[in-house]
Amino acid sequence: MAIHYSKYILILACFLLFTAKEKIPNEFFAKVIGVKDGDTIEVLYKKEPIIIRLEHIDCPEKKQPFGQKAKQFVTDFCFGQKVKVISKGKFDRYRRLIAVIQYKNKTLNKRLVANGYALHFKKYSKDTSYSTLEEQARLYKKGMWSQKELIEPWLFRKRKTQQKKKTH
């Protein structure tokens, strides 16, 4: 009987989670209440926290060079502020809303790339304006491009995963 009851609670919880995310509009304003890292923030919308993964970009991991600087850049740009969130209603595998963030008519996602704190994530984005910004940041050796050697965040994560598998 207890297993049957918990099954219904699980189904209800999944339903509520699914319907709550469906009600999020493609454009809305929300207050930034947390900065997880350079490409992930948390906002408060209608008293509900929403984790957002910045679209089009990939920032260095926290333990990579410029990872903490990317996080600080995001914090300085918008922490505690009411921002415009623009999404296509898509979520990643970690249930983060994929979105572009605007504050004072500036796009956070693009500012990160232009300042050398993020790469254009071409695997998931076809927006060539990010590639152009990345090329300019590289040319002027901004942010992470000032390093002699750069390890892309997706390769860093892959190596980290492979190292974990070897130790277990």
The pLDDT score that the predictor gives to residue 140 is 98
Query: Could you list the residue range(s) of the whole structural domain that residue 45 is in?
Result: 23-167
Residue 11 lies in a domain: no
pLDDT value for 4: 56
Per-residue model confidence (pLDDT) at position 16: 52
> Mind listing the pLDDT tens digit for each residue in 109-154?
999 999 999 999 999 999 999 999 999 999 999 999 999 999 999 9
Q: Is residue 144 part of a domain?
A: yes
Domain count for the chain: 1
Examine residue 77 and state whether it is found in any structural domain, yes or no: yes
**At 82, which CATH number?**
2.40.50.90
pLDDT per residue as tens digits for the range 26-75: 999 999 999 999 999 999 999 999 999 999 999 999 999 999 999 999 99
Q: How far is CA 59 from the centre of its chain?
A: 8
Q: Does 115 reside within a domain? A: yes
Residues 83-100: tens digit of each pLDDT: 999 999 999 999 999 999
141-148: long-range pairs with CB below 8 Å, 24+: 141/116, 142/114, 142/115, 142/116, 143/66, 143/69, 143/70, 143/115, 143/116, 143/117, 144/60, 144/65, 144/66, 144/116, 144/117, 144/119, 145/116, 146/116, 147/65, 147/66
Q: Tell me whether residue 17 is in a domain.
A: no
Give pTM, 2 decimals.
0.83
